[in-house]
């Protein structure tokens, strides 16, 4: 049986896309309190997300190079589309 968290991590990385997004926006859409689906937490733990903090600006997050590589590898393996 496939790991549902892995599939959701791929969905998160695709949803985030190639450009930074507001941290608050991503958390609102992806953070969960369900201990069985720790999508946001697991993606962070694996190093798939980078956090950008500049004084005086809203916090941003983006898919890290490791996250992009993982997404490309998994989507190629599954025969699906990828994010540029």
Give Cα separations from 58 to 13, 17, 49, 74 (angstroms).
20, 18, 16, 31
pLDDT at residue 81, rounded to an integer: 55
57-82 pLDDT, tens per residue? 889 999 999 999 999 998 888 776 54
The structure's pTM equals: 0.81
- For strands 21-22 and 60-63, give the pairing: antiparallel
Q: How confident is the model at residue 16 (pLDDT cuts 50, 70, 90)?
A: very high
Q: What domains are defined for the chain?
A: 4-74 (1.10.10.10)
Q: How confident is the model at residue 1 (pLDDT cuts 50, 70, 90)?
A: low
DSSP single-letter state for residue 57: S
């Amino acid at each position: 049986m496939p790991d549902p968290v892995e599939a959701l991590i791929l969905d998160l990385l695709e949803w985030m896309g190639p450009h930074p997004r507001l941290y608050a926006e991503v958390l609102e859409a992806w953070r969960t309190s369900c201990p069985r689906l720790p999508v946001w937490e697991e993606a962070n733990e694996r190093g798939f997300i980078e956090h950008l903090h500049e004084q005086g600006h809203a916090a941003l997050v983006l898919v890290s190079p490791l996250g992009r590589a993982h997404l490309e590898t998994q989507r190629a393996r599954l025969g699906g589309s990828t994010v540029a």
